Amino acid sequence: MSVLIVGTTALDSIKTPAKENPRLLGGSASHAAVAASFFSPVQLVGGVGEDFPSKYLALYRKHGIDLAGLQILPGKTFHWSGEYEVNMNNRRTLATELGVIETFTPKLPAAYQNAAFVLLGNIAPALQHSVLDQLKRPKFVVADSMDLWLNIALPSLLKLLKRIDGFVLNDSEAALLTQEDNIFVALKKIHRLGPKYVIIKKGSHGSILSAPKGIFICPAYPLHTVEDPTGAGDSFVGGMMGYLATAKGTIDAKIRRAMVYGSVTASFCCEGFGLTATTRTQRAAIEKRVKELETMTRF
């Protein structure tokens, strides 16, 4: 089955202590879609400007991503630029030029409206709602978000939490949302807001799932070099949803393994700027790292 993914489709200018790379393909939907494409067909929903490089359309197509839901709009593509500190854990935004994303409204082609697996990638909650409104009978909907929406669109986000199955956020966002530093107390509080599956991402420390079958402690793949962590969280949730959409069995039976596949896909993302390393990856390389993680967590 395919995964429908909405989110930002952007150009990212990324600066790390080692390198600087302007106008790379980025955005939550781009990272999630490429990650998901290793496991299942992907239907992309997003909006780019007339300046969007055709080589990036080619990159989406190389991954078999369905672009019927990608609108090319008059104006400029959303552009984000940011800088990482030496330890790669802290980043600051240098500039955000919204461009076409400011007035973008997702419009689902008829073929997308029957989507079963839906990833509402990080984008304004109003747009995530708008996608849900256009869907007929989604089977499993997961949303991602960011601190920005917690700060400026909390009521809309809280309404969204009542409409989705799974919610993914990072540890600092969880603390911001729940006013609770303890991750396991925060998980309980987030369940009370709606979602049955809650995943808190902890970067290089892995992630934690709280679900009907209990807590799952999901490992991060050990990396010796992190070139650029931008999009790692999106790759994680994209890979997870791609795996969920095609693997057999119930959500409960396969979500843990799906997270590990997402985690491994995210590890490749970190090894290159933007999507450089992710797009070079093969399914076989992902399988190899998943097996390694099985060995590294067994006791």
Q: Is 54 a binder of a copy of itself (CB under 8 A)?
A: no
> Which amino acid would we find at residue 116?
A
Residue 87, interface with a copy of itself (CB under 8 A)?
Answer: yes
**Count of residues touching a copy of itself (by CB under 8 A):** 35
Q: Is 202 in the site for a copy of itself (CB under 8 A)?
A: yes
- Residue from 204, 246, 276, 279 touching a copy of itself (CB under 8 A): that is 204
Nearer to a copy of itself, 23 or 202 (CB): 202
How far is the C-alpha of 143 from the C-alpha of 164, rounded, in Å?
7
Closest CA relative to residue 119, chosen from 145, 141, 94, 151: 141
**Contact present, 255 and 244 (Cβ < 8 Å):** yes
d(CA 17, CA 19): 6
Q: Which is nearer to a copy of itself, 56 or 84 (CB)?
A: 84
Q: Exposed, middle or buried: residue 79 (CB in 10 Å: 0-12, 13-18, 19+)?
A: buried
H or E segment and range at residue 222: none
Binding of residue 18 to a copy of itself (CB under 8 A):
no
Q: Which is nearer to a copy of itself, 18 or 111 (CB)?
A: 18
Structure tokens at 4: 């429908």
287 binds a copy of itself (CB under 8 A): no
Least distance in angstroms from the C-beta of 220 to a copy of itself: 8
Tell me which residues in 140-199 interact with a copy of itself (CB under 8 A).
181-185
Site membership for a copy of itself, residue 294 (CB under 8 A): yes
Phi, psi of 151, rounded to the nearest 5 degrees: -85, -40
Q: How far is the CB of 170 from a copy of itself (least distance, A)?
A: 13
165 CB-side CA count, 13 A: 16
Query: Which value, in Å, is the radius of gyration of the alpha carbons in the chain?
Result: 18
Query: Does residue 256 belong to the site contacting a copy of itself (CB under 8 A)?
Result: yes
Residues making contact with a copy of itself (CB under 8 A): 86-88, 181-185, 202, 204-206, 208, 214-219, 222-226, 256-257, 259-260, 293-299
